[in-house]
């Protein structure tokens, strides 16, 4: 049976690169009807923190991946010491300073057939003797990794390219301990759009931050899938079940993947469009509550659903909704400086007043009647509609773009519209 593992260290949050590695391991296990093992590499007690561990576990689950088995290296220290002692007794290791146990690296050539890169050859002459157990009694990364992977019967090690240099060191330990070798697959790194390693500016953001920014887990998983793998036929939107049926680690590209936030935003926008308004409402609620725009106990669901429908086709993230729709929830609207300068820089108090009068006289108040009333007014004033649409939009919303003005007026309601327009009438009166 195929057994793969993802082995994060709780010395930091789960980022895009780690999440992609986790996903490829999970996918491969699912595709091969195998087991996905999660191993927490927490032997560095000074840097390991519970907040990082909690974020890693929550992020993996939020992305829709569930492990079959969970292990903590900090609970397995005696096992590592036992195998280090075995190598000491067999004279394959020796005691160094402060009783550290060090492995004697034999001189030889090592060849592996990487499932992604093909054959790779190493010369151990370039590798110095390896510490197995440090002076403080904790194991080194390579040693604990080999012991765990062997005892947990990991069949395929799928990890980043940055671990290729560890592979010959680990193979030597597999051989010295008499363990069966797993197969190796090294995934290319993820680079920023301008090349180079990911930075905070180019996408090295934790998964929890993407969650807080309003990305949907299915959209983020879809995007991660496309970093070094393709389902074929130029598909960019793919359901996870379909991806499981198509995925093979041998199909992963050798070349580095490029993280493109614009592509992620587009994919996220497509998933938002596919969501039902009710589904979006549940996802958007926490953002609105956090902002203080609504209270859960005084929720007008029907009103919120209508507002969500106005923006559903226009937003890339859930947080976009909070920004673009804020004028529906705020009492005081402060126009963006450029919008104010461009569209509210002259006296339109007469036109605003006339429009308000027409609105108040409407027997039926809906987007159709509001538009008819507006069109009639600009015709009578011999104005281009745009000369009044943009200033009214900015006065009501503070923004220059958004949903249709007449839908905005309808859902804001006569009272709010009157209050906001009168503010500008008063300022110019």
Residues annotated as catalytic are 200
- Measured between alpha carbons, how far is residue 91 from residues 148, 255, 333, 348, 429 in Å? 22, 42, 77, 92, 95
Cα separation, 299 vs 279, in Å, equals 16
Would you state the structure tokens that stand for residue 427, as one six-digit string? 């300022």
What number of other Cβ atoms are within 10 A of residue 365's Cβ?
Answer: 14
Q: Are 377 and 358 spatial neighbours (Cβ–Cβ below 8 Å)?
A: yes
φ/ψ bin of 384: left (φ > 0), alpha (ψ from -120 to 50), beta (otherwise):
beta
Residue where the block lists tokens 């090349």: 195
Cα separation, 259 vs 205, in Å, equals 11
Residue where the block lists tokens 């590499």: 41
Would you state the structure tokens that stand for residue 88, as one six-digit string? 């000491």
- DSSP label of 237: S
Q: Residues with Cβ < 8 Å from 233, sequence gap 6 or more?
A: none
Q: Are 250 and 116 spatial neighbours (Cβ–Cβ below 8 Å)?
A: yes
Strand ranges, E, within 35-161: 35-40, 69-72, 93-95, 101-103, 109-114, 118-123, 130-133, 156-160
Q: Residues with Cβ < 8 Å from 354, sequence gap 6 or more?
A: 377, 381
Strand partners, 71: 39
């Amino acid at each position: 049976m195929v057994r793969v593992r993802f082995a994060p260290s709780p010395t930091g949050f789960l980022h895009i690169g780690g999440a992609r590695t986790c996903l490829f391991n999970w996918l491969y296990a699912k595709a091969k009807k195998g087991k996905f093992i999660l191993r927490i590499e927490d032997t560095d007690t000074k840097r390991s923190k519970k907040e990082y561990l909690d974020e890693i576990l929550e992020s993996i689950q939020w992305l829709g991946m569930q492990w079959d088995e969970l292990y903590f290296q900090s609970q397995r220290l005696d096992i590592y010491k036992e195998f280090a002692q075995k190598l000491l007794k067999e004279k394959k290791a020796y005691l160094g300073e402060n009783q550290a146990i060090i492995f004697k690296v034999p001189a030889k050539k090592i060849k592996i057939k990487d499932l992604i890169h093909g054959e790779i050859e190493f010369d151990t002459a370039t590798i110095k003797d390896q510490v197995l157990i440090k002076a403080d009694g904790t194991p080194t990364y390579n040693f604990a990794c080999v012991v765990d992977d062997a005892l947990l019967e990991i069949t395929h090690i799928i990890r980043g390219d940055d671990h290729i240099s560890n592979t010959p060191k680990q193979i030597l330990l597999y051989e010295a301990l008499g363990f069966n070798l797993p197969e190796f697959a090294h995934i290319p790194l993820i680079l920023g759009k301008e090349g180079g390693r990911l930075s905070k500016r180019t996408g090295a953001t934790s998964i929890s931050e993407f969650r807080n920014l309003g990305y949907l887990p299915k959209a983020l998983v879809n995007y991660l899938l496309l970093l070094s793998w393709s389902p074929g036929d130029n598909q960019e939107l793919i359901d996870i079940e379909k991806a499981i049926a198509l995925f093979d680690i041998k199909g992963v590209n050798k070349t580095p993947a490029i993280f493109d936030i614009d592509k992620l935003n587009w994919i996220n926008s497509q998933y938002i469009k596919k969501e039902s308004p009710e589904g979006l409402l549940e996802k958007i609620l926490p953002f609105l509550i956090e902002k203080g725009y609504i209270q859960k106990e005084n929720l007008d669901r029907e009103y919120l659903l209508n507002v969500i429908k106005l923006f559903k086709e226009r937003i890339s993230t859930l947080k976009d909704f909070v920004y673009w729709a804020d004028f529906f929830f705020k009492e005081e609207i402060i126009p963006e400086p450029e919008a104010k300068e461009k569209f509210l820089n002259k006296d339109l108090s007469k036109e605003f007043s006339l429009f308000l009068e027409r609105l108040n006289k409407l027997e039926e108040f809906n987007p159709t009647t509001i538009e008819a009333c507006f069109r009639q007014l600009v015709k009578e004033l011999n104005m281009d509609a745009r000369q009044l649409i943009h200033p009214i939009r900015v006065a009501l919303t503070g923004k220059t773009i958004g949903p249709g003005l007449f839908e905005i007026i309808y859902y804001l309601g006569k009272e709010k519209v009157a209050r906001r327009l009168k503010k500008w009438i008063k300022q110019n009166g």
